[in-house]
Structure 1
Amino acid sequence: MSDPTDRPSRRGRHTTGEGGTSAADFLASYHTGEFAAITDEQATGPVAGQSRAERRRAAEEAEAARRAEERAQLAALRDDEDDQVTRRTPLSAPATTELPAPPAGGIRATPPAARSVASRPAPSSLPALILGASRSDTGGVGGRGPELYDQERDPIPVEDPDADTGRVLTDEASAAPEPAAVVHHDHHADHHADDHGHADHDEPPAHPAWDQTGGLDVIGADAEEERGRRGRKARARAGKTRKRRARRPITIVVSLLVLAGIVGGIVVGGQWLFTKINPVAEDYTGQGTGDVQVRVATGDSLTAIGRTLVEADVIASTGPFVDAAQANPASTGIQPGVYGMRLQMSGQAALDLLLAPDTRLFSRVTIPEGFTVTQVLDRLSESTDTPIADLQAAAADTASLGLPSWSTGQLEGFLYPATYDFEPETTPTEMLQRMVAQFTEETASIDFESRAAAIGRTPYEVLTIASMIQSETLQDAERVDVSQVIYNRLAQGIPLGIDATTAYGLGKNGNDLTTADLQSDNPFNTRNRLGLPPTPISSPGAPSLEAALAPSTGDLLFYVLEDAEGNHFFTNNIDDFNAARQRCADAGLGCGAG
């Protein structure tokens, strides 16, 4: 194509010379309305001298033939499902007839506004125009160009065949009569073009290919199917997205609730753990109300006492009580036992009540030295309000009382004389067990068993001697001498002549014995029987036990009460003894017949 600056007027056409015109040059010519003259040798444009109507008819017939051919090709392609190769429909029908050269003045381009809808180019021509398809070997644009995708569209022919598809109009087409509708359309188009100044309009006409597709290539059936699949996938993803978005508020609410539960659990658990590690020192106020009994066990610490008070609801927590007790040195004097307390007291008030002398609830029982089992049971019954029958039954079951292994199964002599505090609800067996345990503890402290063996006596024999010593004198200083007399008489085979044993055997008081009692035949009458009585006759105290283990040395064989204070006269001479006994009788001290 010649340089645009050398072109004649818009209505003129120039011969382009040898060869075809590139697609770019063709598009430029179409937009400017200036087309190069087409020679007869090219045989691609309208024949010179043909009217506009003739050219239009020829174009329409050619277009109809092309469309029929395209439909046939499309049907063939659809039948072959395995053929995935997209084909482009022919850009134009092959030129079969040479047409006369265009008029010398060139072909006048019809403005876009004057073209009818039916005059727009077919989609099949767009790729060839855009991609710059080359002319046929004949030098024209009538050769078959690249094929269009197999999607069928209704092509719209344009007015200017040279600018449209480059198809060659046959002589028969040019000679066909022009339909009235077309003539009317041409008249309307000419009139419309005249109103706009024909080709002199300043704005260049829009290219029909761009009007039809916007510059995009036409997509075939396979591409359409692929696009459909993509669309369905996109719609499915969009549906899932909408569902997820619909579920999103519920998920957020549930997540918040779970998070709140976790946080709440952590807070509550932390408070519980902190309370366990660092308990709050709660405390009641005031002196409390009501009554409750609390037992303090032997060996309890202040903290243990505090826990006992908490369990009984005397105090709220151990902290205030322990703090108050540690600040008061007198708290170390809290004794084991049962205490009468009040409910819901402050820690300080509870401590004060424990230290009060009348708060402890117990039955204090004192068992004097020399008491027999019968006397002990009577004293326990009186002091603890325990039925005597229950105490006697417990005393008879010696196997449950914890007697030493060297005992003969008799309880006499093993109820150690001392002062006992028995808490409420202490059973008779528990009372007797405690007294036997006290005896075991005391005798163990003086090594009683081994020392008895050292003097050639059994522990039970020594205990029996100690019980007689306990009954014969009230003066501790005289006990070793009484012990000497007993051992000397036993050694010489002289009856002991201790009236206390006879009274025990008869169940009488020694001062109530008669001459007949002293001559009676009972196992405990040491006037007419040699040796020791069958059992101890009382519960000896520590001085008597010690005296039985370590008597004084000498040859004493006799003793008699000398005064009202309980002092005795000791001698180894029978005459001295008889004289002293007469003095005792004269004084009314209760000395019996010799």
Structure 2
Amino acid sequence: MLDDLDAVLEEEEQAQPAVTRHRNRGRGGRSAIAFFVTLVLLGLLAGGGWYAYSKVKGFFVDDDYAGPGGAEAVVEIKTGQSATDIGTTLVQQKVVASVDAFTNAAKDNSRSKNIQAGWYKLKVEMKASDAVAALLDPKNRWVNKVTLPEGLSYQQTFQKLSEATKIPVAEFAKAAKDPVALGIDASWFKRSDGKPVNKTDIEGFLYPATYDLSPKADATEVLKTIIANFNSEMERLEFIPTVEKTRGGISPYQALIVASIAQAEALKDVDMPKVSRVIYNRAYTDFDAGCRCLGLDSTVNYWLRISGKNVKPSEKLTQADLHNPKNPYNTHDKPGLPPGPIGNPGEAALKGAMSPTNNFPYYYFISIDTKGTMAYGKNGAEHDKNRLKACANGIPLC
């Protein structure tokens, strides 16, 4: 383009003598030629400039799709990722056109700091600002949500998890055989009362809560998520140091067993510390010196449940059920606490077991109405009176 302009100017120089002889006429011709050449040059420069701009515009303006997007794209946002990290992930899956477009869109959206880790259903070729908005919309999160209520057994927990994730119960049972590998510290499996501990028993460690589980997780990863939450909650509650400091040599595992029993026996949070104290009184004082047996139907029913048999209300439990010598959870004949937890206790029950009610010299408890109101007795005579109250209120015990 510049070579063509040089050729025109050279021809103009060669015509100089003629211009000298006819100065006025030549000057007008030269001006016309120069004007024409200028127009041509500007046109060429304009066309070339646009071509060049189209090639380098990415250096000055962030590439971005026009949107709204097409095919579905499933994207995982990981814990701790920065906006740049997220943008890189989205570019790799062709959700956004450039990392800079996404990071700039995130800067423009004050809520972008609220983007949570997890799996999202987005679209290919989204406008960056739309991608940010989509990551902030809970409707686009792809999770398996499951709520584990307080008091479920491990079998009931596996069933709930299976329903939410479509992972077979058998896979959860297999993964649960090594709680230490799932994140439970081996120091948990200790007792100070001389009874053995089953280190393959995950009961008590499946903390009740609502979980958002990765749709890509297998049974092991799901259980690790729940165990991690258990560990976090124990640390928050200061469960281990509190038990070791205040419970007179009782191990945290024993306190966990007490919490699981309180969870099964008491309906109201206010009763958890009182029921826990009754359990401690029965197991570790002079109560029933011949046995020191807890005498609880909840432990008998736990054995029936995990043995694949039907759980029964107290009035339907037979003497054979209550005094089965083959039942390790038979607390009517076997002294002290059962072999392990009988369910997974929640926060109120855990607090009750780690800090039971002080100066509470009671050895009996019973629900005396359908609302779960508890009454306590210091001896058998007081307990019998409370039973009559329960019967009068429609509780089928008489």
Establish whether TM, by shorter chain, passes 0.5.
yes
How far apart in 2 are the matches of 1:399 and 1:325?
Answer: 41
Gaps of 5+ in 2: 1-51, 190-196
Once the two structures are superposed, residues 374-422 of structure 1 have per-residue CA deviations (whole angstroms, 9 ceiling, x without a partner) of 0110000001111122222112243431222122412111111111111
1:509 aligned residue (290, 306, 311)? 311
- Note the C-alpha offset of 1:509: 3.0
Alignment of 1:316-335 (within 5 A): 316-335=97-116
How far apart in 1 are the matches of 2:363 and 2:311?
Answer: 24
Which amino acid is the alignment partner of residue 505 of structure 1? Answer: W
How far apart in 2 are the matches of 1:325 and 1:309?
Answer: 13
Which amino acid is the alignment partner of residue 223 of structure 2? Answer: L
Once the two structures are superposed, residues 299-333 of structure 1 have per-residue CA deviations (whole angstroms, 9 ceiling, x without a partner) of 22222222211111100012222222222232222
2:272 aligned residue (474, 479, 487)? 479
Q: Which runs of 4+ in 1 moved over 4 A?
A: none
- Note the C-alpha offset of 1:287: 1.0
CA pair 326-590 structure 1, distance change in 2 beyond 3 A: farther
How far apart in 1 are the matches of 2:312 and 2:348?
Answer: 21
2:204 aligned residue (401, 406, 413)? 413
Judge conservation of contact 2:369–2:394 (CA < 8 Å) in 1. Answer: no
1:568 aligned residue (369, 374, 380)? 374
2:326 paired with 1:495: no
Which amino acid is the alignment partner of residue 583 of structure 1? Answer: K
Judge conservation of contact 1:511–1:590 (CA < 8 Å) in 2. Answer: no
Gaps of 5+ in 1: 1-267
With the length of structure 1 as denominator, give the TM-score of the two structures: 0.51
Residue 98 of structure 1 corresponds to which residue in structure 2?
none
Residue 361 of structure 2 corresponds to which residue in structure 1?
555
With the length of structure 2 as denominator, give the TM-score of the two structures: 0.76
- Note the C-alpha offset of 1:503: 0.5
Q: Using CA pairs below 8 Å that are at least 6 residues apart, which structure has the higher relative contact order?
A: 2
Identify which range, 370-379 or 354-363, moves more after superposition.
354-363
2:73 aligned residue (292, 295, 299)? 292
- Note the C-alpha offset of 1:590: 4.2
Judge conservation of contact 2:180–2:186 (CA < 8 Å) in 1. Answer: no
Which amino acid is the alignment partner of residue 511 of structure 1? Answer: P
Residue 134 of structure 2 corresponds to which residue in structure 1?
353
Considering only aligned residues, what root-mean-square deviation do their CA atoms show, in Å? 2.2
How far apart in 1 are the matches of 2:311 and 2:107?
Answer: 53
2:329 aligned residue (524, 545, 566)? 524
- Note the C-alpha offset of 1:358: 1.3
How far apart in 1 are the matches of 2:112 and 2:345?
Answer: 35
Judge conservation of contact 1:483–1:551 (CA < 8 Å) in 2. Answer: yes
How far apart in 2 are the matches of 1:462 and 1:400?
Answer: 22
Task: Using the aligned pairs only, state the percent identity.
Answer: 36
Residue 538 of structure 1 corresponds to which residue in structure 2?
343
How far apart in 1 are the matches of 2:368 and 2:60?
Answer: 72
Alignment of 1:114-513 (within 5 A): 280-406=61-187, 407=189, 408=197, 409=199, 410-454=201-245, 455=247, 456-490=249-283, 491-493=285-287, 494-507=292-305, 508-509=310-311, 511=313, 513=316
How far apart in 1 are the matches of 2:84 and 2:377?
Answer: 62
How far apart in 1 are the matches of 2:101 and 2:73?
Answer: 20
CA pair 492-430 structure 1, distance change in 2 beyond 3 A: same
What SS is found at the alignment partner of 2:232?
helix
Judge conservation of contact 1:401–1:429 (CA < 8 Å) in 2. Answer: yes
Once the two structures are superposed, residues 13-54 of structure 1 have per-residue CA deviations (whole angstroms, 9 ceiling, x without a partner) of xxxxxxxxxxxxxxxxxxxxxxxxxxxxxxxxxxxxxxxxxx
CA pair 279-317 structure 1, distance change in 2 beyond 3 A: farther
How far apart in 2 are the matches of 1:378 and 1:309?
Answer: 35
- Note the C-alpha offset of 1:448: 2.1
What SS is found at the alignment partner of 1:524?
coil
What SS is found at the alignment partner of 2:123?
strand
Judge conservation of contact 1:499–1:510 (CA < 8 Å) in 2. Answer: no
What SS is found at the alignment partner of 1:483?
helix
Once the two structures are superposed, residues 35-82 of structure 1 have per-residue CA deviations (whole angstroms, 9 ceiling, x without a partner) of xxxxxxxxxxxxxxxxxxxxxxxxxxxxxxxxxxxxxxxxxxxxxxxx
What SS is found at the alignment partner of 1:396?
coil
Greater radius of gyration (CA): 1
1:581 aligned residue (380, 387, 392)? 387
- Note the C-alpha offset of 1:586: 4.4
- Note the C-alpha offset of 1:279: 7.2
How far apart in 1 are the matches of 2:343 and 2:155?
Answer: 10
Which amino acid is the alignment partner of residue 324 of structure 2? Answer: S
CA pair 323-340 structure 1, distance change in 2 beyond 3 A: same
How far apart in 2 are the matches of 1:497 and 1:291?
Answer: 59
Once the two structures are superposed, residues 493-528 of structure 1 have per-residue CA deviations (whole angstroms, 9 ceiling, x without a partner) of 432122111111121435275123223221111122
How far apart in 1 are the matches of 2:355 and 2:312?
Answer: 26
What SS is found at the alignment partner of 1:415?
coil
What SS is found at the alignment partner of 1:525?
coil
Judge conservation of contact 2:144–2:164 (CA < 8 Å) in 1. Answer: yes
How far apart in 2 are the matches of 1:351 and 1:399?
Answer: 39
Which amino acid is the alignment partner of residue 496 of structure 1? Answer: L
How far apart in 2 are the matches of 1:562 and 1:330?
Answer: 52
Which amino acid is the alignment partner of residue 423 of structure 1? Answer: S
Identify which range, 544-553 or 502-511, moves more after superposition.
502-511
Query: What is the count of residue pairs matched by the alignment?
Result: 320
Once the two structures are superposed, residues 79-113 of structure 1 have per-residue CA deviations (whole angstroms, 9 ceiling, x without a partner) of xxxxxxxxxxxxxxxxxxxxxxxxxxxxxxxxxxx
Judge conservation of contact 2:262–2:272 (CA < 8 Å) in 1. Answer: yes
CA pair 525-308 structure 1, distance change in 2 beyond 3 A: same
Judge conservation of contact 1:294–1:340 (CA < 8 Å) in 2. Answer: yes
CA pair 315-476 structure 1, distance change in 2 beyond 3 A: same
How far apart in 2 are the matches of 1:361 and 1:562?
Answer: 46
Residue 192 of structure 1 corresponds to which residue in structure 2?
none
